[in-house]
Amino acid sequence: MTGRRLIVVSNRGPVSYARDEHGVRVAGRGGGGLATALRGLAGRCEVTWIASAISEEDRAVAAESGGALEHELGGARVRLLLLAHDPAAYDRYYNVVANPLLWFVHHSLWELGRTPVLDAAFAEAWRDGYVRVNESYAAAVVAELDNDPDAAVFFHDYHLYLAPRLVRDARPDAVLAHFLHVPWPQSDGWTVLPLDARRAIHDGLLANDVVGLHTNRWTRNFVASAVDVLGADVEDGRLRHRGRRTAVAARPISIDCAEFDELAESPAVLAAEAAIERTRAERLVLRVDRTDPSKNIVRGCIAFGLLLDRHPEWRGRAQLLALLDPSRQDIPEYVDYLAAVERETAAVNARHAGAIDLRVSDDFPFSVAAYKQYDVLLVNAVFDGLNLVAKEGPVVNRRDGVLVLSENAGAHEELGEWAVTVNPFDVLGQAEALHAALSMDGAERARRAGALASFVRVHDIGRWIDAQLADLAAVAR
Amino acid sequence: MTGRRLIVVSNRGPVSYARDEHGVRVAGRGGGGLATALRGLAGRCEVTWIASAISEEDRAVAAESGGALEHELGGARVRLLLLAHDPAAYDRYYNVVANPLLWFVHHSLWELGRTPVLDAAFAEAWRDGYVRVNESYAAAVVAELDNDPDAAVFFHDYHLYLAPRLVRDARPDAVLAHFLHVPWPQSDGWTVLPLDARRAIHDGLLANDVVGLHTNRWTRNFVASAVDVLGADVEDGRLRHRGRRTAVAARPISIDCAEFDELAESPAVLAAEAAIERTRAERLVLRVDRTDPSKNIVRGCIAFGLLLDRHPEWRGRAQLLALLDPSRQDIPEYVDYLAAVERETAAVNARHAGAIDLRVSDDFPFSVAAYKQYDVLLVNAVFDGLNLVAKEGPVVNRRDGVLVLSENAGAHEELGEWAVTVNPFDVLGQAEALHAALSMDGAERARRAGALASFVRVHDIGRWIDAQLADLAAVAR
């Protein structure tokens, strides 16, 4: 990839603008996770990043710039293009099609006997939202390729399934890759979408030269569903469709360990840690999640209640600290879910006073402090593309904490052998796994915790970036 | 299979006993569909049928007989063994594990972000219900094999997944087949069950020599999930596991066309038909279903309402007649679902008076009369193993009625080319499919209706029975 410009394309960019209380424009973190993950790219090649203008101030910045902005990322400069979509189209694309519809399909969250009900509003959101916004992205990518025909394009995630086909039709020789940060459901799960829509999604992805996912499990699902939905052929491990071949690669994303090491000793984290140490229970069970039904927070509360019901020795000694980042609270399913978490927490605390400490806020230093302090880290996701909490926690933790990990979290493929595995639907099994984790002897805890941290330190974000660039270079050759 | 006794094993038998108002014992239909399907077997070979004693009177009959009963089936005699299980064990097996848990897994009906919650009650229901009842069945089968070691065993459906392994362990050379009347979910769907349970289910099925399902789609899913869950190998199209091979066959079940021809001219049906003719709308859209969330009745009502909203020409001219057999009303999910059907019907009728005629009762002659009278038959199942309504209707219909058929109903694999295909989640698509069906010209309606009826008449239940016996004979050789 040396010398070749990379055009990163995602819904959220690395920065989002706002006005502070004095009316001064300020730049904040945009996509969060993705910007962090891709920070290392900027030092390795020239980067243009195309993203949606999301805030009002983003739209103002985009209008003023009349083109690309300069933005600093990981010590290097990237060109940033913010696309100011029609607000109604963006709302349909983001709040109707991408979330919850596609997110729920990817994570198998619909109650199929009742939901979703795909009516005229869906048809309109697809046509006048998802298709239109993808067309805007494709036009922007094609314009960038006109500036720099050798650039490689790197699409991200489920918002942009249609753009690659549009770009491919316009620029047949372009180098296109797409990374999916979500689980890939098996083909029956895709029948939740009408035939046209699910074919368009698969066809769009197979316009890429490379499709990356986090695990071998999701790549197997993706290959099988491309065969089932499109009748694609499998040839030498690649998918063949409409005369082109697409490589499918399992590339588990990871974290920037150096960043976490630095954060862990930062004043904000040390202050938060001191606060936790003053009030913490003897044994701290931690979860850190967005308030998303895929994260399985309600069942985690039920399981913690069962632990105390069944193993009285932990009453008053073990506490569940649930740090929840409020997520997508403009979508009814998410509002309902947070209410269900609060109800179940109250029910457990009514039986066992103070058993669950539920904190709904976005306080990253506090989360890192809690990572240092946990004895057990609970990641019981229903389905999860990877789950970075399962990597962040073990790198920062100071107490040989035990990871209790869902078999349906992508991270289980790498980390399962050192975790206590749980089935996400089996709350009795989760309660007993928590008991086993809390009861594990010190040597075994140290062995597992050490192995987890070592694995993540070796397989960190730098390795993932190397793999992405190598995949693109292989295509370009 | 000539000369070899067949031991049919199912939850419901061909008969169930009750007391009439005078206290006299009366025999009624038991399993309904399955008994009808298997009626043709009794004339072809000696049959012993092992089933659960379900009613109180069944238990009394079982106790009095002290062994096998004689029962007449399709003009031949079968030996009938009714197993009187421990009532608490049966309740756990049937009302907790089989329904709704396994049924919902097979039809992808759980709302995975919230349900199921597998707690101590599930663990107990599995261990003290599902395992125990399967052990009783296996013991009864082994005892029958002791009487007649050459007999072949023919298990049915999702209630009896563990019995084949228990029989195989006791009688390694027995000829065992299992037919599944439900869809087979893909392997990620099976993660709803804890690892031990899903392994036991797959391992139990692979103790059979033959596993039959309705469609190629479900057999592909079954083979792939046996590979994913158990690590079974695929060899010459068969599954190899624990040193044995299991053939997997797609054998779509069908109906007894002669029975329906006779029924259609019976006095009860003619009387019902006359009543329908007196009150029917110009165009009759019919659905006939159990009140099961897998049947997708609520979305069907929404779609019919949308049809009238969007195509005013059908207002007052087209009516949806929904004939619903109340099902499993001792399971809360089913009570809730029927209430949701009633709410949606009321909502549509509030906009379009009299648009939906909802009848919740078990009146088979009335259903057959309605089959004769429909202009459009709506089968929009979420998932369905086969769906016999889609075969019964076209054989009996007198008006060149159009079949609107879900892509997720097993029957779609055979009948799809002559149906109007719908996606079960897309109510707008269903509304437009109903409009297309109602608007279809007479020649095209006749062509499709004729093709459907001809197909079912050729591929009737006799052919299915032949296939089952041929599969068993192939194993026995």
Tens of pLDDT, residue by residue over B272-297, are: 999 999 999 999 999 999 999 999 99
Ranking A119-133, B77-91, B321-335 by mean pLDDT, the lowest is B321-335
Domains A6-253+463-476 and A257-458 share a fold: yes
Please tell me if residue A314 touches chain B, with a CB cutoff of 8 Å: no
For residue B391, which of B453, B306, B305 has the smallest C-alpha distance?
B453
Cβ <8 Å between A425 and B382: no
From CA A344, how far away is CA A338, in angstroms rounded? Answer: 10
What residues in A contact B108, CB-CB < 8 Å? 112, 188-189
Mean pLDDT within B350-357: 98
Which residue out of B101, B105, B108, B382 would a mutagenesis test of the A interface target, given it has the greatest number of A Cβ atoms within 10 Å?
B108
Contact A306 B120 (CB under 8 A): yes
Residues of B in contact with A112 (CB under 8 A): 107-109, 382-383, 425
Query: Is the Cβ of B407 closer than 8 Å to some Cβ of chain A?
Result: yes
Average pLDDT over residues B317-342: 94
B114/A340 Cβ within 8 A:
yes
A395-442 per-position pLDDT tens digit: 999 999 999 999 999 999 999 999 999 999 999 999 999 999 999 999
Spatial neighbors of A375 by CB under 8 A, at least 6 apart, are A283, A284, A285, A399, A401, A402, A437, A438
Q: How far apart are CA A413 and CA A410, in angstroms?
A: 6
pLDDT at A78: 93
Which of B113, B186, B293 is the closest to A382 by Cβ? B113
What whole-number percentage of chain B has pLDDT above 90?
Answer: 91
Interface of B with A in 336-395 (CB under 8 A): 337, 340, 382-383
Length of chain A: 477
In chain B, what is the greatest distance between 2 CA atoms, to the nearest angstrom? 68
If you measure CA to CA, which chain A residue comes closest to B115?
A: A425
DSSP states of A319-330 as a string? Answer: EEEEEEE---TT
Q: How far, in Å, CA of B176 to CA of B213, rounded?
A: 15
Q: What share of chain B is helix, strand, coil (3-state, %, to 5)?
A: 50, 20, 30
- Whether residue B184 has pLDDT greater than 90: yes
pLDDT of residue B297: 98
Residue range B257-458 forms a domain whose CATH class is: alpha beta
pLDDT value for B406? 98
Q: Which CATH architecture has domain B6-253+463-476?
A: 3-Layer(aba) Sandwich (3.40)
Is the interface score ipTM higher than 0.90?
A: yes
Instruction: Work out the mean pLDDT of chain A and round it to a whole number.
Output: 96
Residue boundaries of the structural domains of chain B: 6-253+463-476, 257-458
Give the one of A110, A113, A340 whose C-beta lies nearest to B293's C-beta.
A113
Compute the average pLDDT of residues B252-274.
97
- Average per-residue pLDDT for chain B: 96
pLDDT of B34: 83
B210 has which bridge partners?
A: B177, B247
* DSSP label at residue B75: T
Residues of B in Cβ contact (< 8 Å) with A186: 186-189
Q: Which residue of B has its CA nearest to A340?
A: B114
pLDDT of A24 over the 90 cut: yes
Candidates B119, B34, B128; CA nearest to B73 is B34
For residues A331-360, average pLDDT: 96
- Quick one: pLDDT band at residue B418, thresholds 50, 70, 90? very high
Nearest to A393 by CA among A410, A364, A370: A370
List the beta bridge partners of residue B15.
Answer: B29
DSSP single-letter state for residue A107: T
CB A171 within 8 A of CB A24: no
The pLDDT, as a whole number, for residue A2 is 56
Which H helix or E strand runs over B336? Answer: helix B332-351
Phi and psi of A240, rounded to 5°? -110, 125
pLDDT for the residue numbered A69? 92
Q: Answer whether B426 sits within 8 Å of A118, measured CB to CB.
A: yes
Interchain contact, A191 vs B337, CB within 8 Å: no
Give pLDDT, residue B43: 84
Tell how strand B76-83 and strand B69-73 pair up.
Answer: antiparallel
Reported as a single tens digit per residue, the pLDDT across B227-242 is: 999 999 999 889 999 9
Q: Does residue B18 sit in helix, strand or coil?
A: strand
Q: Locate the DSSP E strands across A326-437.
A: 356-360, 376-379, 402-406, 420-422
Strand pairing class (A175-179; A152-156): parallel
What is the C-alpha to C-alpha distance for residues B385 and B381, in angstroms, rounded to an integer?
Answer: 10
Residue B468: phi and psi, rounded to 5, are: -60, -45
Residue range B329-356: average pLDDT?
96
Dist. CA A424–CA A408, nearest whole Å:
7
Chain B residue closest to A112 (CA)? B109
- Residue A410 pLDDT: 98
> What's residue B2's pLDDT?
56
pLDDT at A1: 54
Asked if the Cβ–Cβ distance from B119 to A298 is below 8 Å, we say no
Predicted confidence band of residue A3 (pLDDT cuts 50, 70, 90): confident
**Inter-CA distances, B144 with A94, A346, B7, B156, B262, Å:** 62, 55, 8, 17, 37
Tell me the two tokens of residue A389.
Answer: 């909490």
Mean pLDDT check: name the lowest of A202-206, A329-333, B284-288, B450-454. Answer: A329-333
| Amino acid, res. A451 | A
Contacts of B286 (CB under 8 A, 6+ apart): B320, B321, B322, B323, B370, B371, B373, B374, B376, B377, B378, B393, B401
B192 to chain A: which residues are within 8 Å by CB? 425
CA of A316, closest CA in chain B: separation in Å? 23
* B175: pLDDT strictly greater than 60: yes
Region B356-382 average pLDDT? 97
Task: Output the CA–CA distances (angstroms, integers) from residue A288 to A285, A377, A378, B392, in the order listed.
Answer: 10, 9, 8, 54
Neighbours of B123 (CB within 10 A): 16
Residue B174, pLDDT > 80, answer yes
Q: Which residues pair with B213 in a beta bridge?
A: B250
pLDDT number for residue A4:
87
Q: Rounded to the nearest 10 degrees, what angle do helices A257-264 and A364-373 cross at?
A: 90
Cα dihedral A160, A162, A164, A170 sign: negative
Q: Over the stretch A29-81, which tens digit does the pLDDT of each residue have? A: 766 678 888 888 888 899 999 999 999 999 999 999 888 999 988 888 999 99
Beta bridge partners of A370: none
**Amino acid letter, residue A423:** N
Task: Decide if pLDDT at A370 tops 70.
Answer: yes
Is A227 in the B-facing interface, judged by CB distances under 8 Å? no
Per-residue pLDDT, averaged over A139-143, amounts to 98
Q: What is the CA radius of gyration of chain B?
A: 23
Separation CA A167–CA A141 (nearest Å): 7
pLDDT above 90 covers what percent of chain A? Answer: 91
